[in-house]
Copies of this chain bind each other. A is one copy, B any other.
């Protein structure tokens, strides 16, 4: 059995972020993205394809005439927006926004059928096809997002209207699907409802929801005929990349040891597996989840935390198959990885989870949105040559620059909901122990043994690695504060109340456990040395052979054409080259950049010959690298993460 301790979910209201790096990003979501997405959902943005999402609810509610439009899972965009907007209210109350949310909730409630069913696609467009398309219909997926929205809305506003709606819907699902005789033995093509049901259980304490989540997870990969016989599944019959493994249904979850298929589906399933391991103490499920974790992070993950190395099927492929230019690395998959890592960090004290959570957050997730919050990458390659990316058929999924909105707009609201709930990911609490996973300036309050304990983090992270944590209990308290030493960090010191704290004897899988009696004014000072590192891939990753990536702290860097000229493949960093960091106050609102002496081919030494035996002249150049997540914010051009080394 998994250690049964109370893993308190962090209430966003406990956490007030005030952080040099994140303030801008959170504000951008609140001030720009959420209003923009509201307009998008309401089809009010000129030159952007209409979402139809709100209009579909209006039609389903009988308030408008018309046909359903958009993707079958268009409802989930509205749900994710409610979720993100709910979190934003905890960050910054906004009565006007709340009014819009209330109206949308009213509308959603009106679209619900009498039996509890709620899905505008099937209600409006396919009324006789309900519960017949589990592989691609996204009915349960949309249900899941609506449940997550309802929980967030309830927690932010105290209003339970949407919660009642989704409970009725969950009850309806529970009536027709489940292990009991006469019920459908099915599972959803796209996992999401599983983790949503666990959240609903946490809020309502209704065991049936937990049981249903367990059923979905355990049923996956069993009695698959219902699934493979579906018409939509059959569309992919001849396509080996859209078979059962695409849906993580090629076997039961307990027999799966490698991450297969659609990478977002995989992440959401693994989240649910972790949730259930935590809620039910299922040790074998935990072991299984850990096996999958190791496969993902040791064999199938880009250095940016990007997941999915093939566009066709948006999916995992093979161990060590990580091409940079045709990567899929969907923003949503990296977001899913953050979700999963967070859950794993609750299950087990091991920095490897928060390390990856941080990696994905600072790199593969945040490359998904432009600095001004107006444009998005769905796909996040690690190497872009715009001409080829715009032309070649095998790059058809790659955009050389961020775009305003997508027909399939899953990623933008997903970034919004993650960013506005960022406070949830900084800490976890297990009984009397607080774990500090992320270094983000904040002022937070926890209840330990019934007493309030305030933690105030002050830091410029990731600009530097100096973190101060003031620990202020309302009255003296003995408890543990565990601070993570990231695996990228080789030199670090921890001081407690001004005294150097002994680390070796307090080392716990990458966390320094500080067990003491805390008083008002207690202080932890953490210094994480943050030199630039030249990172190398496992030698089995053939695309990165002989190449390095520059990383400083958790931030992966890249070279852009705007800084370094075109033909970035001709840049070589000598093995002995020192990479220097510098702070550029004018770039991206102030950013740490890297420079290094490198070599590149002198243009004038090129003949017209396509192949020649003479060598090229090289010249010394100074190269400049910027954080990967910020690439493409100036002008369209080449970008590489992996640079040749010699």
Knowing that A298-B609, A533-B613, A538-B607 touch, tell me 20 more A-B residue pairs with CB under 8 angstroms: A298-B608, A298-B610, A310-B392, A312-B394, A317-B391, A318-B387, A326-B394, A385-B542, A394-B394, A488-B613, A534-B613, A536-B613, A536-B616, A538-B610, A538-B611, A539-B606, A540-B606, A545-B570, A545-B644, A546-B569
At the interface, yes or no: A537 with Cβ under 8 Å from chain B? yes
> Which chain B residue shows the least CB distance to A608?
B298
CB distance from A539 to the nearest CB of B (A): 5
- Listed residue (A297, A534, A549, A609) with the most chain B CB atoms within 10 angstroms of its CB: A609
Once the chains are docked, how many angstroms separate the CA of A533 from the CA of B613?
6
Residues of B within 8 A of A297 (CB): 610
> Which chain B residue shows the least CB distance to A575?
B615
CB distance from A506 to the nearest CB of B (A): 25
The answer to whether A394 touches B310 (Cβ under 8 A) is: yes
Residues of B within 8 A of A615 (CB): 536, 575
At the interface, yes or no: A567 with Cβ under 8 Å from chain B? yes
Residues of B within 8 A of A2 (CB): none
Residues of B within 8 A of A539 (CB): 567, 570, 601, 606, 616
Residues of B within 8 A of A393 (CB): 241, 310-313
Once the chains are docked, how many angstroms separate the CA of A609 from the CA of B359?
15
At the interface, yes or no: A67 with Cβ under 8 Å from chain B? no
Could you mark each residue 555-570 of chain A with 1 if its beta carbon is under 8 Å from any beta carbon of chain B, else 0? 0000000000001011
**Those of A498-546 within 8 Å (CB) of chain B:** 533-542, 545-546
**Those of A597-617 within 8 Å (CB) of chain B:** 601, 606-616
Residues of B within 8 A of A607 (CB): 538
> Which chain B residue shows the least CB distance to A568?
B542
The answer to whether A538 touches B609 (Cβ under 8 A) is: yes
Once the chains are docked, how many angstroms separate the CA of A541 from the CA of B607?
13
Could you mark each residue 299-341 of chain A with 1 if its beta carbon is under 8 Å from any beta carbon of chain B, else 0? 1010100000011110001100100001000000000000000
Residues of B within 8 A of A549 (CB): 611
Across the interface, A301 reaches (CB within 8 A) one of B298, B570, B572, B610, namely: B610
Residues of B within 8 A of A536 (CB): 611-616
The answer to whether B535 touches A611 (Cβ under 8 A) is: yes
At the interface, yes or no: A388 with Cβ under 8 Å from chain B? yes
With contacts A310-B394, A388-B321 taken as known, whether A611 is within 8 angstroms of B644 at the C-beta atoms is: no
Once the chains are docked, how many angstroms separate the CA of A488 from the CA of B609?
12
With contacts A317-B391, A318-B388 taken as known, whether A567 is within 8 angstroms of B542 at the C-beta atoms is: yes
Residues of B within 8 A of A569 (CB): 542, 545-546
Once the chains are docked, how many angstroms separate the CA of A545 from the CA of B545?
12
At the interface, yes or no: A7 with Cβ under 8 Å from chain B? no
Residues of B within 8 A of A318 (CB): 387-388, 391
Once the chains are docked, how many angstroms separate the CA of A311 from the CA of B394?
9
Once the chains are docked, how many angstroms separate the CA of A16 from the CA of B317?
53
At the interface, yes or no: A646 with Cβ under 8 Å from chain B? yes
Residues of B within 8 A of A606 (CB): 538-540
- Listed residue (A388, A535, A610, A614) with the most chain B CB atoms within 10 angstroms of its CB: A610
Once the chains are docked, how many angstroms separate the CA of A358 from the CA of B224?
57
Could you mark each residue 620-646 of chain A with 1 if its beta carbon is under 8 Å from any beta carbon of chain B, else 0? 000000000000000000000000101
Once the chains are docked, how many angstroms separate the CA of A299 from the CA of B611?
10
> Which chain B residue shows the least CB distance to A297?
B610
Residues of B within 8 A of A614 (CB): 536
**Those of A254-312 within 8 Å (CB) of chain B:** 297-299, 301, 303, 310-312
CB distance from A173 to the nearest CB of B (A): 34
> Which chain B residue shows the least CB distance to A390?
B318
